[in-house]
């Protein structure tokens, strides 16, 4: 007699997510690392912009360099289970859309319909890559 999913022992690397679906904990953490990497990807262009607008360029440059290092580290961690092309596309997409929003919200960049539509297409692409993984 076949055992149901409810009675199968789980390895420590699997997580039950309902309706018979299992995900690898390492893979789930990799997506969290990738989101963190993308958020820090926003920090380096922000730091460069701040270095142009503040009286002291040093703080902005320090923010940029630290953001680059942290972003790169978390991208490296994410690539343990996420394919390189997917990880890179999602990482740059988060950085691009996030930086666009920071520019609009804090630096008076244009928020035209075409810019918003283009950003939406990037977000759709990111979601598509996640679903296709």
* Reported pTM: 0.79
Q: Tell me what pLDDT residue 21 has.
A: 52
Alpha helix (H) residue ranges in 2-56: 25-53
Burial per residue of 44-71, b for 16 or more beta-carbon CB atoms within 10 angstroms, e otherwise: bbbbbbbbeeeeeeeebeebbeebeebb
Q: Tell me what pLDDT residue 6 has.
A: 46
Q: Tell me what pLDDT residue 23 has.
A: 58
Please list the pLDDT of the chain residue by residue as tens digits (133 residues).
444 444 444 444 455 555 555 557 878 899 999 999 999 999 999 999 999 999 999 999 999 999 999 999 999 999 999 999 999 999 999 999 999 999 999 999 999 999 999 999 999 999 999 898 7
Are 54 and 44 in contact by the 8 Å Cβ rule? The answer is no
The gap from C-alpha 27 to its chain's centroid, in whole angstroms, comes to 14
Q: Tell me what pLDDT residue 12 has.
A: 47
Q: Tell me what pLDDT residue 54 has.
A: 92
Give me the sign of the Cα torsion angle 100, 49, 72, 13.
Answer: negative
């Amino acid at each position: 007699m076949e055992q149901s999913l409810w009675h199968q022992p789980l390895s420590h690397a699997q997580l039950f997510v309902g309706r018979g679906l299992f995900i690898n904990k390492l893979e789930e953490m990799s997506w969290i690392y990738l989101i963190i990497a993308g958020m820090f990807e926003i920090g380096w262009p922000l730091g460069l912009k701040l270095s142009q607008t503040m009286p002291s360029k040093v703080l902005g440059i320090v923010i940029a360099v630290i953001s680059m290092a942290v972003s790169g580290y978390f991208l490296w961690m994410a690539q343990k289970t996420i394919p390189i092309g997917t990880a890179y596309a999602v990482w740059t997409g988060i950085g691009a859309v996030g930086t666009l929003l920071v520019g609009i919200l804090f630096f008076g960049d244009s928020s035209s319909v075409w810019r918003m539509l283009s950003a939406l297409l990037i977000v759709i692409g990111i979601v598509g890559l996640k679903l296709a993984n």
